[in-house]
Chain A
Amino acid sequence: MRFGWLLASLMLTACAQTPLRGTGDLGIVIERANGRVAVVDTTAKSVLGRIDGLGDLSHASVVYGRDGRHAYVFGRDGGLTKVDILEQRIDKRVMQAGNSIGGSISQDGRLVVAQNYTPGGIKVFDAVTLELLAEVPTQSKVVGLVDLPGQKFAYALFDKGEIWVTDLSDPRQPRTEKYPAGLQPYDGLVTPDGRYYMAGLFGEDGIALLDTWRPELGVKKILQHYGKGEEKLPVFKMPHLRGWAVAGNQAYLPAIGRHEVLVVDKGNWQEAGRIAVKSQPVFVMARPDGRQVWVNFAHPDNSWVQVIDTLTGKVIKTLQPGKAILHMEFSPRGEHVWLSARDDHSVHIYDTQTFERVATLPAQSPSGIFFTSRAARMGF
């Protein structure tokens, strides 16, 4: 009795001490070695808490439900975990594949789709219950999965060299269209309006482009022969396309095996220039306003970050923020950028105007950083 009263009063205090709050300035940092994520506050620039027990998080990625409260974490070991970032707890967790690489969420937020290496294919889950609704086997590793308007998803097949678009308007009856793309697509992106899907090719120079408004035209290759037959440098890390960089009328893409960022004109999809950078780019990401593009690099140059001014097309800043910079994420309107420094066990926060470091947070082997502002963006 006495105990029950104590418990009740404790619970009351606990409630009183947790004021209501929104999630618009929250996010997640993956702590890849520990199977743990840190919940962070981008206004206070602090770690609010940690959620454990998420399995192998090397190469993990996150998508948000449209409530900006529930996050779906896709782990390398095939684990799919739904976490509640306000209550900082795991809501549901399923082991959905042997080896997975990421996922996506549907336009209406009701379907979560995982892309898998082993066995190859995509799996469709109910976003509330994580019940498995459908599978599309591919007999190939799946890369570059993105959501499209109309409950569709586009993805590329590494081993088969194809782009597939699956319509999940009826989630239990997926309908898939297939397009030849080119040799070894390694990742994909969709333009912010959800219209163009691009898959970067590893096995040949060029990028496969599908206009999803006019799929009957098929895939067109752009930036073909950008390497001009030159032997490419060894690629020690696959670049990522997912954090697209579309700024104004131009798209910025990492060149494979070259120390260059490629610039493409979005009007005609022709090469509009190249920008020489420090090393082989991994992420090429536009600040939300599109004025700057930030670039990080592959091993062994992964302690560097460069900033391109999109107006002049020049590198305006070279930073060495820490050891092994794996990922970058902008605050919702871009005044700050968060950089994960895996081998410093830190996340560094920089002001994007002054390039001054404004804060450093501790994190164990941090990799991906994902803010809730992704909840409302297509392709994220």
Chain B
Amino acid sequence: MRAALVLLSLLFSPLVSASEGAVSASDTIRLVRQDCGSCHGMSLQGGLGTPLTREALAGQSAEALAVIILHGKHGTAMPPWKSLLSATQAQWIAERLLEGFPEEKQP
């Protein structure tokens, strides 16, 4: 019950993005599953990009992952997302990735 509530609040809490105002968590989940998924796989098990599962990322800090998300990894196909994601969003994604990323709810 508690867990469900936390999940619900996660899903509906607005994420504040510097440029675009409030972005909903469900939009961000969709972006990660669909658009990061074009390289990392929709299930985040990996593709051209490395796996982003909880197991694969174990031991890394959310801060370090957020930096990679915002600035990309030079010399690899990982692009910088800072023109599309705020630092808050990147941090939020990094934290969720470390916990095991939430599934997109089906329409």
Residues of A within 8 A of B (CB): 32-34, 56, 58-59, 76-77, 98-99, 101, 117-118, 141, 143, 158, 184, 186, 202-203, 234-238, 299-300, 324, 342, 345, 364
Which of B38, B39, B72, B83 has the most chain A CB within a 10 Å cutoff?
A: B38
Cβ B48 vs Cβ A117 within 8 A? yes
12 pairs from A and B in contact (CB 8 Å cutoff): A32-B42, A58-B42, A76-B41, A77-B43, A99-B46, A117-B48, A184-B77, A234-B79, A236-B35, A237-B38, A300-B84, A364-B107
Question: Which residues of A lie under 8 Å from residue B100 when comparing CB positions?
Answer: none
Cβ A238 vs Cβ B48 within 8 A? yes
Identify which of A76, A202, A324 contacts B77 (C-beta below 8 A): A202
Q: Is B53 an interface residue (CB 8 A)?
A: no
Q: Is B45 an interface residue (CB 8 A)?
A: yes
Nearest chain B CB to A239's CB is how many angstroms away?
11
Residues of B within 8 A of A (CB): 34-35, 37-39, 41-43, 45-48, 72, 75, 77, 79-81, 83-84, 104, 106-107
Cβ A186 vs Cβ B35 within 8 A? no
What is the predominant secondary structure among interface residues of chain A facing chain B? Answer: loop
A99-B45 contact given A234-B72, A236-B79, A238-B77, CB 8 Å threshold = yes
Cβ A76 vs Cβ B43 within 8 A? yes
Q: How far is the CA of A113 from the CA of B78 in the complex (A)?
A: 28
Question: Which residues of B lie under 8 Å from residue A345 when comparing CB positions?
Answer: 107
Cβ A158 vs Cβ B79 within 8 A? no
Closest 8 CB pairs of A and B: A58-B42, A234-B79, A299-B35, A237-B38, A234-B80, A235-B79, A236-B79, A56-B43
Question: Which residues of B lie under 8 Å from residue A141 when comparing CB positions?
Answer: 48
Q: How far is the CA of A48 from the CA of B34 in the complex (A)?
A: 27
Question: Which residues of A lie under 8 Å from residue B104 when comparing CB positions?
Answer: 33
A118-B46 contact given A58-B37, A236-B35, A238-B39, CB 8 Å threshold = yes
Nearest chain A CB to B4's CB is how many angstroms away?
22
A234-B41 contact given A33-B106, A158-B48, A184-B77, CB 8 Å threshold = no
Identify which of B43, B72, B81 contacts A58 (C-beta below 8 A): B43
Q: How far is the CA of A101 from the CA of B84 in the complex (A)?
A: 27
Q: A56-B43, A118-B46 are in contact. List 11 more A-B contacts (CB 8 A).
A: A58-B37, A76-B42, A76-B43, A186-B77, A203-B75, A236-B84, A237-B38, A238-B38, A238-B77, A299-B84, A300-B84
Question: Which residues of B lie under 8 Å from residue A300 when comparing CB positions?
Answer: 84
Cβ B35 vs Cβ A237 within 8 A? yes
Question: Which residues of A lie under 8 Å from residue B75 when comparing CB positions?
Answer: 203
Q: How far is the CA of A234 from the CA of B81 in the complex (A)?
A: 8
Question: Which residues of B lie under 8 Å from residue A33 when comparing CB positions?
Answer: 42, 104, 106
Cβ B47 vs Cβ A117 within 8 A? yes
A99-B34 contact given A158-B48, A238-B77, CB 8 Å threshold = no
Q: How far is the CA of A77 from the CA of B80 in the complex (A)?
A: 27
Q: How far is the CA of A369 from the CA of B44 in the complex (A)?
A: 23
Nearest chain B CB to A37's CB is how many angstroms away?
16
Question: Which residues of B lie under 8 Å from residue A99 when comparing CB positions?
Answer: 41, 45-47
Q: How far is the CA of A202 from the CA of B78 in the complex (A)?
A: 11
| Residue of A whose beta carbon sits closest to that of B40 | A58
